[in-house]
Amino acid sequence: MTHRSLGACAPKRSGAQGRRRVWFLGTTGLPVGLHPKFQKQGIGSKLIRQGLERCRNLGYKVVIVVGHPNYYPRFGFTSARAKGLETPFLVPDEAFMVIEVAPGALNGISGMVIYPPAFEGV
């Protein structure tokens, strides 16, 4: 029997630096990669839901994504800029989203999201 990966979901640690230079434990995204043959079957949604639960269990407070504006809101993601966050690279407002996996985690937090080195040059 041959085993293949259908998809992946991998969070990366990040933080935010704002006017008060406050850092919080967050993750930049739940990037989901799914082979086209397995799309539209609920597998990606299941990966996102399990990824959010895993982030919650690992103690992350927020999850930030740059993703499709018609996909991520169904999981509770909303505009990151409306929450006072900014990104160091050009991203359309509707694609820059955040979800608090710990309710109230963004209260009093605003500023630039500090991405891990893997995102440099993206």
**For residue 97, what are its two tokens?**
């989203």
Distance between CA atoms of residues 109 and 23, nearest Å: 9
Convert the pLDDT of each residue in 36-73 to its tens digit.
888 888 888 888 888 888 888 888 888 888 888 998 99
CATH code 3.40.630.30 for 7-117:
yes
Instruction: Note the pTM of the prediction, 2 decimals.
Output: 0.75
Q: Letter for the amino acid at 82?
A: A
pLDDT computed for residue 41 by the predictor: 87
Residue pair 79/97 in contact by the 8 Å Cβ criterion: yes
Which of the listed ranges 15-29, 35-49, 74-88 does the model predict with the highest average pLDDT?
74-88
pLDDT over threshold 70, residue 17:
no
pLDDT computed for residue 77 by the predictor: 93
